[in-house]
Chain A
């Protein structure tokens, strides 16, 4: 039965249900219980934003606090996965990728291929990403593009509470390394989520809204911005189709191309920097494989090629907005 819960609660529920289903599922990271070795009780925090709170007591011994040693414990999660555990390691902020990237892209991502298909590494690395919290340049980035570039990794960017639960369950059951990225501005988003366990397959985009004038492919939190824009554009007689890829690796190219063939116009909304981004990747896809369907140039709406600024005045300018999308859609509709 579905009821309304938040994105954050949906993550917690997915972890809880998978830990109950499979004893090999363990959760590790900085403060995922919180308070290990401290005078306060264990489970004091349940993660820096409380996402894993309550799991410590329900699953004794399987919610494990770590030192601030990202290479150490992310690598340990990968090693444990090599012998059949299903660890979910929390990197806290995806920006901390920089201090453990080797273990992710040279170790976990490579093992299966490098070892001739004789290994499986069913590890999930969760991290929050994205701007909007005045958290500045080292706690606000959207680094899914970097992971998406690496063969051997799967990359998940859920945009709502229903998807975040189903995609996290799929991530834990999947036998490949999965990078699971949660936009921090979505944690409080409420939505209908079934109580029972369910998995959403990777590589299946969601058509969030149907329309025949403009295709908007939006990543993660940008799906919300696209929906705001589409509602406004509807009033102006422009009917948008919104595609949420849900996973950037594997990427559901068929659904994107089918939509572009129908509308002839494409906008990609990607909060990350513009170079070598999902925006440029999907724009390239359309240029290469839907060229004859295009009635206007592809538009990429991204953050700028600059670090995320601190000041609210600047950060609001940084993040792609519904207004940007509305303006882009109108210009495409008026093209020629």
Chain B
């Protein structure tokens, strides 16, 4: 059974989801000014997934992420202040300004990196899981991937390999309905991505990705099973992104009002707040207080990022190798 959520857990879950939302909304606003370089893919709307999964993990567990990775980073414990500096291309960033939005990684908290290659993370988590298994450690590895990556051969290979080697891996499919501009109704040749699990000899389940508690329970069960040596699972989380594939995407492929309707009726933060305040576990005052703290944190991270130094010429050729 998944570990019951304490009051502290609920506060942490809300703070994590709010931090992701605030981080992404702020990037959306700032990107429009033209000051943020490169490609930025926002996770807003999907917060319940990263948070629901990572609330079941420790720093010793590993996750692999996607090009839409900010939420996974924050949920796994990467410092948002360093992340913001990284996205602004600063030397003080998580990766010293050499990775950017698509490559934020922090192995000290088990974050193997956002990944610019769709489906790139599947094989990697088989390796971190194999290491844990060979060392007799109870650590699990989670591969977050999208509906687009669900059609990549690397994911199929990784699912088969994880089953063959009986590895503690959770394949966490975030089906937000669109691979770039192409609907998963077109690109995925089965009703649910989770249906593919049986082909690889593992259990598969599809859950509502707007519901933190549903994700927490489903991922928790799969993680618990993996920790006990039960092998890999496939968990499909159905959700939606509030912004385009990347910032600047006009989203002409989406129906009018599609996102607003989801924001109004299904939003993970709204649902979470309603449930915990109605149930009496947390008060609206507590949630408002978290909102204010998170806003101050993100505001501060932007101010800092803007004034932090960029890398210099001396940094261009460092860290290509450990030894030369």
Which A residues are within 8 Å of any B CB, using their own CB? Answer: 26, 61-62, 64, 66-67, 69, 71-85, 87, 102-103, 106-107, 110-120, 151-152, 154, 174-176, 250
Contact = CB atoms under 8 A, between A and B. Distances in A.
Interface in B103-148: 103, 105-108, 112-113, 115-117, 120, 122-132, 134, 141
A79 B62 CA distance: 10
Contact of B157 (A71, A107, A111): A71
A119 B117 contact: no
B127 A116 contact: no
Contacts of A67: 157, 160-161, 164
**Which of A77, A80, A83, A110 counts the most chain B CB atoms within 10 A?**
A83
Contact of B127 (A61, A77, A106, A152): A77
24 contacts: A67-B160, A69-B157, A72-B154, A75-B123, A75-B124, A75-B154, A76-B123, A76-B161, A78-B123, A79-B125, A80-B131, A83-B127, A83-B128, A83-B132, A106-B116, A111-B113, A113-B98, A115-B99, A115-B107, A116-B94, A116-B95, A116-B98, A118-B95, A176-B322
Given A78-B123, A79-B64, 10 more contacts: A26-B134, A72-B126, A74-B123, A76-B126, A106-B120, A107-B124, A114-B99, A115-B99, A174-B323, A176-B322
Interface stretch (B34-42, B252-260, B292-300, B313-321): B313-321
Contacts of B323: 174-176
Contact of B161 (A69, A102, A113): A69
Closest 8 CB pairs of A and B: A75-B123, A79-B127, A72-B157, A117-B319, A116-B96, A79-B124, A116-B95, A80-B127
Contacts of B128: 79-80, 82-83
B291 to A, nearest CB: 31
Contacts of A102: 117, 120, 154
**Which of B64, B117, B132, B161 counts the most chain A CB atoms within 10 A?**
B161
A117 B123 contact: no
B302 interface: no
A77 B125 CA distance: 10
B320 A75 contact: no
B126 to A, nearest CB: 4
Given A82-B107, A82-B112, A112 B124 contact: no
Nearest to A89: B127
A112 B322 contact: yes
B123 A83 contact: no
Nearest to B117: A106
Given A80-B130, A107-B117, A176-B321, A116 B124 contact: no
A114 B320 contact: no
Contacts of A110: 103
B240 to A, nearest CB: 28
B127 A76 contact: yes
B99 A72 contact: no
B123 A113 contact: no
B79 to A, nearest CB: 13
Contacts of A103: 120, 123-124, 154
A111 B126 CA distance: 17
Contacts of A152: 320-321
B282 to A, nearest CB: 36
B126 A79 contact: yes
Interface residues of B, number: 48
Contacts of A75: 120, 122-124, 126-127, 154, 158
B232 interface: no
A109 B95 CA distance: 15
A61 to B, nearest CB: 7
Contacts of A118: 95, 105-108
B186 interface: no
B131 A116 contact: no
Nearest to A66: B161
B123 A112 contact: no
A115 B95 contact: yes
Contacts of B126: 72-73, 75-76, 79
Nearest to A62: B134
B93 interface: yes
Contacts of A74: 123
B97 interface: yes
A209 B105 CA distance: 48
B309 interface: no
Contacts of A72: 122-123, 126, 154, 157-158, 160-161
B153 interface: yes
Nearest to B311: A116
Contacts of B165: 64
Contacts of A82: 107, 112, 124, 127-128
A71 B124 CA distance: 10
Contact of B107 (A26, A64, A69, A119): A119
Contacts of B320: 112-113, 151-152
Given A85-B131, A116-B95, A71 B125 contact: no
A250 B324 CA distance: 8
